[in-house]
Amino acid sequence: MKILSPVPEKKGRIEIIPLIDIMVFLMACMMMVNLEMIRMRGLKLNLPTAQTATPENKSDFLTLSIKASGQVFLEKEEIDRNTLVDELKRRKEKEPKVRIYVQADMDTTHGDVVRVLDKVRAAGIQKIGFQVKEETPAAPEASAPRGTAPGPAPKR
Per-residue pLDDT reduced to its tens digit, 118-155: 999 898 888 888 877 777 766 445 444 444 444 444 45
Mean pLDDT of 99-123: 88
Report the alpha-carbon distance of residue 79 to residue 71 in Å, rounded. 8
User: Given this structure, which CATH class describes domain 42-134?
Assistant: alpha beta
Confidence of residue 37 (pLDDT cuts 50, 70, 90): low
Question: Which pLDDT value is given to residue 147?
Answer: 44
Report the alpha-carbon distance of residue 36 to residue 30 in Å, rounded. 10
Residue of 141, 139, 142 whose CA lies nearest to 153: 141
Question: Which pLDDT value is given to residue 20?
Answer: 92
Tell me whether residue 87 is exposed, middle or buried, using C-beta atoms within 10 angstroms of its C-beta: 0 to 12, 13 to 18, 19 or more: middle
Report the alpha-carbon distance of residue 56 to residue 128 in Å, rounded. 13
pTM for this model (two decimals): 0.52
Going from N- to C-terminal start, the domains of the chain cover 42-134
Do 130 and 56 touch, CB atoms closer than 8 A? no
* Distance of alpha carbon 46 from the chain centroid: 14
Report the alpha-carbon distance of residue 99 to residue 82 in Å, rounded. 20
Number of other residues whose CB lies within 10 A of the CB of residue 46: 13
Do 138 and 56 touch, CB atoms closer than 8 A? no
